[in-house]
């Protein structure tokens, strides 16, 4: 099996190298036979997917067959590992995850090459760029991080097992989502570089790229949030985002990618920000690779230590080469990227996009700055410092709140110029609603003058409400107009409204999801926790809950042994739940892991951790966290994904007005152009 795996990876490298070189020669050489050469390059690219796919199948099969002669399987699996985690072995370690990356990239390349008739020349350029990136990853797989390396000693009877932190159901879907996002940004980058290199006329490439970017952005959003959920459910410290460098690495391309998704509309509608968009596409791709570099190089300390290795140098040089290549083509062809329109007013959709982009990029810079500052400090003053969550919370919250404000305001501004009357009409009721939410929260006991974090929470709640109300009012307003023309009910009219411009109204739903996420986050300042050594019958009070320790027990299966605490949860005198926090000991890896138990409601999460036993007294320690509103973060994610899917649906055919010969327009009653534009 190992030989077959190694062979197909070598074959994939040869095919990708051919796809790159032949494709490049065909693009440079303008001879009649270039077209045929380009076609062979395309087919080689398609074939490379087959080779990488076989490689991935071989690795997964080896995990299922417990083939511990393969070093990777030995170190990341064991006989008693549950089957889903054996499948997840593919991305559980470095070599496997690089193979998985390569598989996804060749998969994206396959789709791109199969759709080449959309624009043969542009797709040929993009195909060459993708082949070049694929060559890099296959070089790594063949020479630096071999997934099919065979151990030289006697084959052990069992493997070392999977890292306990990774043995959680989300481990089966979180990394694929994240990788689909990371890898997917190669496609917009390939189109951008291709369009730049060939001085592509018009904005068609940006239409093609936008759809790819939205799909990729959706995957990355899922990946980032699932990572947060995984951290919350597994790490046991009661939080979901620790600003760890590897978490930051996933956030940075998401921020710049989100900026691009907004600013690309400026180029589509108004022919503006062409240079900026090029750099945003490149920046997103580059930051995705930088994230992998951070994860793999160990240059910055992280809790994701399981991913560290010596291939950081490869990524470093790849980053340099891609930067140099892109910069070269940008300098060479930048005259092609002139804006076509002027800006007419500060209060316009264009301005809001400019500020939106500023804030996204600034947020990315802040995260990047905080992530790298320990290294900068070490270089400048010879000593490292820690840049922890307190730093990020302090410097990113104001930016996040400004972004939330723009999320509410931006979509309701008109292109070119917005009148004050229009502003008043669109914002009066949403603003009053947001104000009412603020007053209600103060009346309920949120005292912003007591603590700056309460102040931020109150502002965030009001802004989230403003976003939600503006989205709802937009749907209702448009729905009413359509309903007035068609006689349909409001709900049906709103569905029709969405279908007329799926991107715009799908985007609004994404914004609504963002507001829900903020509602979830703003509960953080009100988190409470309590810890106690609890024997049988002991009680621990936290907020409205009383935890009663009923018993401790032990269980064992082939994969791990576990100490379980049985905690009854009371609210007043009524028992509302029983939680079973665990402390597991994994047999194969000889590692211990806490598994928190969570009682989740829309109002709050009760998060209980069995922290083990006090070394002095031998008594079990139970730690409980009361985290308000956390569920809304995950609900917000679902809404965001739903909105993204809705915005990918093709629009209904635009309605057309009929013009008479005498130039009098006769507009059919049902043809009100509601929902046009973005």
Partner 1 sequence: MLFSFVRRNFRDRRLHLIPTVLVGVLLLLGAGDDSARVDRIGHQLMCVCGCNQVLLECNHVGCSYSTRMRDELTAAVTRGDSDNNVLQWFIQTYGTTVLTVPTDHGFNRIAWIMPYLALVLGIGLVVFIVAVWKKRPLVVHASVPTAVRGVELDRFRDQARRETQL
Query: Which one of the spans 145-153, 289-297, 511-519, 590-598 is the region binding partner 1 (CB under 8 A)?
Result: 590-598
Query: Which one of the spans 2-10, 144-152, 300-308, 489-497 is the region binding partner 1 (CB under 8 A)?
Result: 300-308
Query: Which one of the spans 62-70, 82-90, 611-619, 629-637 is the region binding partner 1 (CB under 8 A)?
Result: 611-619
In the bound state with partner 1, the residue whose beta carbon lies nearer, of 210 and 594, is 594
Instruction: Round to whole Å and give the CA distance between 450 and 439.
Output: 16
432 binds partner 1 (CB under 8 A): no
| Site for partner 1, residues 620 to 649, rule: CB under 8 A | 623
| Site for partner 1, residues 305 to 364, rule: CB under 8 A | 305, 339, 341-346, 351, 354-355, 358, 361-362
| Site for partner 1, residues 225 to 254, rule: CB under 8 A | 235-239, 242, 244
| Site for partner 1, residues 460 to 519, rule: CB under 8 A | 481
State the DSSP code for 153. Answer: S
Instruction: Round to whole Å and give the CA distance between 98 and 145.
Output: 8
State the DSSP code for 299. Answer: S
Compute the least distance from the CB of residue 381 to partner 1, in Å: 5
592 binds partner 1 (CB under 8 A): yes
Is 160 within 8 Å of 191 (Cβ atoms)?
Answer: no
Compute the least distance from the CB of residue 433 to partner 1, in Å: 21
Burial 169-201 (b: 16+ CB within 10 A, else e): ebbeebbbbbbbbbbbbbbbbbbbbbbbbbebe
In the bound state with partner 1, the residue whose beta carbon lies nearer, of 327 and 386, is 386
In the bound state with partner 1, the residue whose beta carbon lies nearer, of 544 and 677, is 677
Number of Cα atoms under 13 Å in the Cβ half of residue 297: 16
416 binds partner 1 (CB under 8 A): yes
Which of 657, 667, 668, 670 is close enough to bind partner 1 by CB under 8 A?
A: 657
Show the tokens assigned to 414: 């008109």
Query: Which one of the spans 119-127, 374-382, 462-470, 509-517 is the region binding partner 1 (CB under 8 A)?
Result: 374-382
384 binds partner 1 (CB under 8 A): yes
349: number of Cβ within 10 Å: 24
Compute the least distance from the CB of residue 506 to partner 1, in Å: 17
The alpha carbon of residue 296 and the mean position of all alpha carbons in its chain are separated, in whole angstroms, by 19
Is 274 within 8 Å of 292 (Cβ atoms)?
Answer: no
In the bound state with partner 1, the residue whose beta carbon lies nearer, of 127 and 371, is 371
Is 549 within 8 Å of 536 (Cβ atoms)?
Answer: yes
In 420-523, which residue ranges form alpha helices assigned H by DSSP? 420-443, 452-486, 490-500, 502-521
In the bound state with partner 1, the residue whose beta carbon lies nearer, of 152 and 658, is 658
385 binds partner 1 (CB under 8 A): yes
Instruction: Round to whole Å and give the CA distance between 59 and 44.
Output: 23
594 binds partner 1 (CB under 8 A): yes
In the bound state with partner 1, the residue whose beta carbon lies nearer, of 394 and 603, is 394
Instruction: Round to whole Å and give the CA distance between 378 and 207.
Output: 44
Query: Which one of the spans 63-71, 76-84, 381-389, 513-521 is the region binding partner 1 (CB under 8 A)?
Result: 381-389
In the bound state with partner 1, the residue whose beta carbon lies nearer, of 421 and 573, is 421
Compute the least distance from the CB of residue 161 to partner 1, in Å: 16
Instruction: Round to whole Å and give the CA distance between 87 and 77.
Output: 10
Compute the least distance from the CB of residue 157 to partner 1, in Å: 27
The alpha carbon of residue 666 and the mean position of all alpha carbons in its chain are separated, in whole angstroms, by 47
Handedness of CA 207, 210, 212, 218 (dihedral sign): negative
268 binds partner 1 (CB under 8 A): yes
Instruction: Round to whole Å and give the CA distance between 639 and 515.
Output: 10
């Amino acid at each position: 099996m190992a030989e077959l795996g190694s062979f197909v990876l070598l074959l994939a490298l040869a095919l990708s190298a051919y796809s790159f070189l032949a494709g490049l020669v065909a693009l440079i050489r303008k001879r009649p036979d270039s077209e045929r050469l380009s076609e062979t390059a395309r087919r080689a690219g398609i074939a490379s997917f087959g080779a990488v796919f076989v490689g991935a199948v071989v690795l997964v099969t080896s995990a299922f067959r417990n083939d511990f002669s393969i070093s990777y399987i030995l170190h990341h699996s064991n006989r008693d590992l549950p089957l889903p985690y054996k499948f997840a072995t593919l991305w559980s370690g470095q070599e496997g995850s690089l193979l998985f990356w390569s598989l996804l990239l060749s998969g994206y390349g396959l789709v791109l090459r199969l759709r080449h008739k959309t624009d043969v020349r542009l797709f040929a350029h993009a195909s060459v760029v993708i082949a070049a990136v694929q060559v890099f990853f296959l070089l790594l797989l063949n020479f630096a991080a071999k997934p099919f390396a065979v151990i030289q000693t006697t084959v052990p009877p069992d493997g070392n097992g999977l890292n306990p932190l990774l043995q959680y159901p989300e481990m089966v879907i979180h990394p694929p989502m994240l990788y689909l996002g990371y890898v997917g940004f190669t496609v917009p980058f390939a189109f951008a570089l291709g369009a730049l290199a060939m001085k592509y006329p018009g904005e068609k490439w940006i239409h093609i790229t936008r759809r790819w970017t939205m799909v990729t952005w959706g995957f990355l959003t899922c990946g980032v949030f699932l990572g947060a959920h995984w951290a919350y459910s597994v790490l046991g410290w009661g939080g979901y985002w620790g600003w760890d460098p590897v978490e930051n690495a996933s956030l940075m391309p998401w921020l710049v990618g989100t900026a691009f998704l907004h600013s690309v509309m400026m180029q589509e509608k108004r022919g503006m920000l062409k240079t900026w968009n090029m750099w945003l596409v490149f920046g997103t791709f580059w930051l995705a690779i930088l994230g992998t570099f951070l994860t793999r190089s160990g240059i910055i300390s992280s809790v994701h230590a399981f991913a560290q290795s010596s291939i950081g140098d490869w990524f470093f040089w790849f980053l340099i080469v891609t930067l140099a290549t892109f910069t070269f083509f940008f300098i060479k062809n930048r005259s092609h990227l002139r804006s076509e329109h002027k800006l007419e007013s500060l209060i316009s959709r264009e301005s809001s996009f400019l500020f939106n982009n500023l804030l996204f990029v600034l947020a990315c810079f802040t995260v990047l700055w905080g992530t790298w500052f320990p290294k900068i400090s070490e270089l400048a003053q010879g000593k490292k410092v820690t840049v922890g969550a307190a730093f990020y919370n302090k410097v990113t919250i104001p930016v996040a709140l400004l972004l939330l404000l723009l999320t509410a305001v931006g979509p309701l501004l008109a292109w070119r110029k917005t009148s004050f009357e229009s502003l008043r009409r669109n914002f009066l009721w949403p603003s009053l609603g947001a104000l009412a939410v603020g007053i209600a929260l103060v009346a309920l006991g949120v005292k912003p003058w007591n603590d700056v974090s309460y102040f931020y929470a109150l502002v965030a709640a009001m802004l989230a409400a403003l976003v939600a109300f503006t989205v709802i009012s937009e749907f209702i307003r448009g729905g009413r107009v359509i309903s007035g023309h068609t006689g349909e009910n409001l709900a049906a009219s709103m569905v029709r409204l969405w279908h007329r411009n799926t991107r715009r109204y799908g985007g609004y739903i994404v914004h609504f999801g963002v507001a829900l996420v903020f509602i979830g986050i703003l509960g953080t300042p009100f988190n409470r926790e309590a810890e106690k050594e609890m024997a049988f019958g002991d009680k621990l009070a936290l907020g409205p809950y009383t935890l009663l320790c009923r018993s401790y027990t032990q269980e064992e299966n082939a994969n791990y042994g576990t100490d379980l605490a049985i905690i009854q949860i009371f609210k007043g005198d009524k028992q509302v739940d029983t939680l079973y926090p665990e402390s597991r000991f994994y047999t194969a890896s000889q590692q211990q892991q806490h598994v928190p138990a969570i009682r989740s409601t829309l109002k709050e999460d009760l998060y209980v951790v069995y922290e083990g036993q006090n070394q002095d007294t031998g008594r079990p320690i139970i730690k409980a966290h009361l985290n308000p509103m956390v569920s809304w973060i995950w609900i917000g994610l679902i809404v965001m994904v739903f909105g993204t899917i809705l915005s990918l649906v093709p629009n209904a055919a635009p309605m057309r007005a009929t013009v008479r010969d005498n130039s009098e327009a006769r507009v059919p009653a049902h043809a009100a152009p509601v929902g046009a534009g973005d």
